[in-house]
Structure 1
């Protein structure tokens, strides 16, 4: 009886697609070129996967939502280039001077090959110490210990370590498409909303919606009448870089060692609320990123982290500590919040994460 119902529903979807010229993702593995995908509440149950997992692109897939960056969508995104202005979003490798969460300080050495003739660089760094992509090996679904698409800790380190969810898969595919910036920090200044990016402050879906409205865009997915297209890349400016620049070197170092205190680190970021989860999923963003050290408000006040959903369950690259100051300024000057964006992750087989190496092009 269940099979008959499923067959009938699939046939009904085919008829609707024919009438609307859509292509709905129904059979796993999903076709990235589909024009309609299930909402978070409509996700199919996947045997062996945690609830709400969207491991839908194939058994050996380690690209996740990057699959949405198809040639068709990348070509369409290129039409956002109007002035050709290139705006890098990468912090210097030594910023922050003392990384948070106990991470290693960036060190740079010059190696002399031949005096006055030739020199090399030697970098010592943690890929989480500056502008970064959190790779799928970075954060698991905690209760099941599962990383994206069933990858386990034993796949990452130890005698059975392999290349499941390695960052090099992203490098080989490439990242390019249409970006959208929500300048929440600019909106907050305009509306007199005062908060400290170095303190816990959850940015709600409602606030982001009004921020978008103030910028002249509807942040809902196109399937709900909004301006967000499948495969768009989200950027949220929360103001961390602005706050960092205003601090003295001593205050920066003090803030970086908050993890050693009873309270631990506290940062502004997206709220861990159901509306945010629905929005992040249902927009079918290819990637999400912000200028905050954790993207989500830290520490979470819920029983879960956004990292678990974004990385482990949905396979969505998550960027942190991007320098969005100049981009926000230019977007506001031009009154344009969509742009072409490209990123070149490190081609490191077995790697966990990567610096973004990203450029926005207006």
Structure 2
């Protein structure tokens, strides 16, 4: 119903060479957004089958060896920036997750120490969402995988971890751009960052998206959150558990953002917020409520296969980019090799 057929694949908008773990694959013909099949009763479109009927990587297929080589050429100073938060942040955890417990102990009969972590939620801090993170009730998970298949390990984060991510990263510092334009992003409201906002920001940065990129979007939410005192962070956590009075800035409306990401060849999308998309969910351009398939999580993870990153910390990187005017960089990520994992800390570096 939502799968790209061979006839549809013949209508070609882009040709992309892919690499897998073993070597070169045949060139892929990738349709444009408008050529993808519509999801019934929505403005969403599906890319199921574009990368093969059994594909579990989605957009990460676009991260080729050439992407790594070209990104390495962006390194000029060797300055590196860790984009993960400390593992214990946010503190207290957001949504229904719980704090982990870290214990250091003596190894009996030796002069060595060991430690262990209990109750760790891999998506509690900075994270990648695996393609198994969400599903549409009437259709299933990305590429049509079933709940039983996902519980058996399909679409897990190990698919990304086993190859790693080495490619070009692009920072869209929407927070700084909109502040300079006199229209700052409100971190305490459902402020919608539109495709026009993104494009204007990228134009101001003098950078253009290309196939295989990881797009990093700074809304300013993380800067605001890290500036809160403990009672302030506790209030955010409490609101997030019930969604009463909870609001977040983010990218929307979903279909328009998805079109920009797909047609630009973005492999992965990361933001400095808990959800990437706004909360409450952005309405359609005509003001009507978005359908479930039009939520950005469903569009990106389930329909297009583009992994989402949340709780990223772009603050030091953004300051450096503003100083030297360079908003693209070598981006590396090595998620945990956790078979069937629904998410993982990204273990991510930006190198300039």
Q: Answer whether TM exceeds 0.5 for this pair.
A: yes
Deviation at 1:168, TM superposition (A): 1.0
Q: Deviations over 1:251-302 (max 9, x none)?
A: 1011111134463531111012443221011111111001111001113142
The worse-fitting range, judged by mean Cα deviation, of 195-204 and 230-239 is 195-204
Provide the aligned length of Structure 1 versus Structure 2: 326
Is residue 163–residue 349 contact of structure 1 (8 Å, CA) maintained in 2?
yes
Q: Give the gaps of 5 or more residues in structure 1.
A: 1-5, 26-30, 218-226
The worse-fitting range, judged by mean Cα deviation, of 93-102 and 110-119 is 110-119
Which residue, out of 214, 231, 249, partners 2:204? 214
| Residue 156 to residue 275, structure 1, CA distance change in 2 (3 Å) | closer
Which residue, out of 134, 156, 172, partners 2:162? 172
Is residue 55–residue 148 contact of structure 1 (8 Å, CA) maintained in 2?
no
The residue that corresponds to 2:178 in the other structure is 188
Which residue, out of 111, 119, 122, partners 1:127? 122
Deviation at 1:244, TM superposition (A): 1.1
Which residue, out of 335, 348, 351, partners 1:358? 348
Q: TM-score, normalised by structure 1?
A: 0.83
Q: Deviations over 1:114-169 (max 9, x none)?
A: 5993212211311111100001111113442x111212222233xxxx22111111
Which residue, out of 32, 37, 43, partners 1:39? 32
Question: How large is the Cα RMSD of the aligned pairs?
Answer: 2.7
Which residue, out of 74, 77, 91, partners 2:85? 91
Higher Cα Rg, which structure: 1
Which residue, out of 111, 128, 134, partners 1:139? 134
The residue that corresponds to 1:256 in the other structure is 237
Partner of 1:80: helix, strand, or coil? Answer: coil
Partner of 1:170: helix, strand, or coil? Answer: helix
| Residue 120 to residue 211, structure 1, CA distance change in 2 (3 Å) | same
Q: Give the gaps of 5 or more residues in structure 2.
A: 1-5, 18-23, 283-289
Q: Deviations over 1:290-332 (max 9, x none)?
A: 1111001113142231011110111111100011001101111
Q: TM-score, normalised by structure 2?
A: 0.85
